[in-house]
Structure 1
Amino acid sequence: MMSLGKIAVLSVLQTEPEEVKLLDQSLPSGYKVYKSKVGSMDSAKIFAAIETAAKREGFISSNYREEHALYHSILEAYHGICRGNAGLGNVLRSAGLLYSIVRGPRTVGCADDGEWIAVALYGYMGAPMKGFEHEVLGLGMNPI
């Protein structure tokens, strides 16, 4: 069964051929999906990249309710990849991440629950030196 969080996580983990198959299943069920990448030692740049993409791609409109739901989805996913220690540059960590944004129902056939937005982050985090990083994964989702 397809669900918002599952689509977000699978999208961020899959390679292009697998992702096309996932999109073919997701779009007819009412999900909108976007995937890209971001890397930085500055958490503000990661948040800004995801927020900018969400606005540019039409995932949210410029109103408080939608921006707030997106912000908290990013924050929850970010909290997951930072293991509870929200911060990068100030503790000399860098991140190279893929991210996905998904908007739609929480689960297929659950339209009476309203629209939700999810953000998944996957990639590598560690000391800003090649070979000193490890994999990370985070997911956040909120109602709009």
Structure 2
Amino acid sequence: MANQNAAPFSLSKLALLLPLLQGHDWQKTVEEQLAGGGYRYTLGRVGAMDLMKVVAAVETAAKRNRLIDEEQYREVHALYHAIIEAIQGVGRGTMQFGEILRTVGLTFAVVRGPMFPQGAEPGDWIAVCLYGTIGAPRKGFEHEVLGFGINHV
């Protein structure tokens, strides 16, 4: 996948690739770049018609895997904004699912670390990528979606 002479991917690119390549041979390459770049991350899945269940699943995974300190407001707040931004991409700006008879089945990644591996700028960023399907709650009536959000911690 990656040219050994190429510059390492940024936090954003790795966060996007992680859920897209889940289960693919290239997933290991992405995880190696995450580890080599000093990033922390988690992957998960959520299916729901309720927007708050999507938010809760991503937030719970980030807390459980210690990507954020839940006692630090700024960290929880940064994660929340990244999640909401990603959901806006999935919903095409509409922050509703079940109320308008839409359901989602999503794989998500949360990645935390410097914007660029071994970056010169201090401070962490947190990125959320949602990839999967959205549609009417009926098999075959869905299509693929991708949402991404990023915020500084």
Q: Give the TM bin, normalised by the shorter chain.
A: over 0.9
- One-letter amino acid of the counterpart of residue 4, structure 1: L
Identity %: 48
Contact 2:45 2:107 survives alignment (8 Å): yes
Which whole-Å deviations, capped at 9, do the CAs of 1:3-38 have from their partners, x for residues lacking one? 111011100100333211211122121111211110
Matched pairs, number: 144
Q: Is 1:129 aligned to residue 148 of structure 2? A: no
User: Could you state the TM-score of these two structures normalised by the residue count of structure 2?
Assistant: 0.91
User: In the alignment, what sits opposite 2:5?
Assistant: none
User: Counterparts of 2:152 and 2:47 in 1: how far apart (Å)?
Assistant: 27
Q: Is 1:35 aligned to residue 43 of structure 2? A: yes
Contact 2:38 2:118 survives alignment (8 Å): no
List gaps (5 residues or longer) in structure 1: none
User: Could you state the TM-score of these two structures normalised by the residue count of structure 1?
Assistant: 0.96
- One-letter amino acid of the counterpart of residue 66, structure 1: E
Query: For 1:9, what is the secondary structure of its paired residue?
Result: helix
User: In the alignment, what sits opposite 1:15?
Assistant: 22
Task: Compare relative contact order (CA 8 Å, sep 6+) and give the higher one, 1 or 2.
Answer: 1
Task: Tell me how large the CA RMSD over aligned residues is.
Answer: 1.0
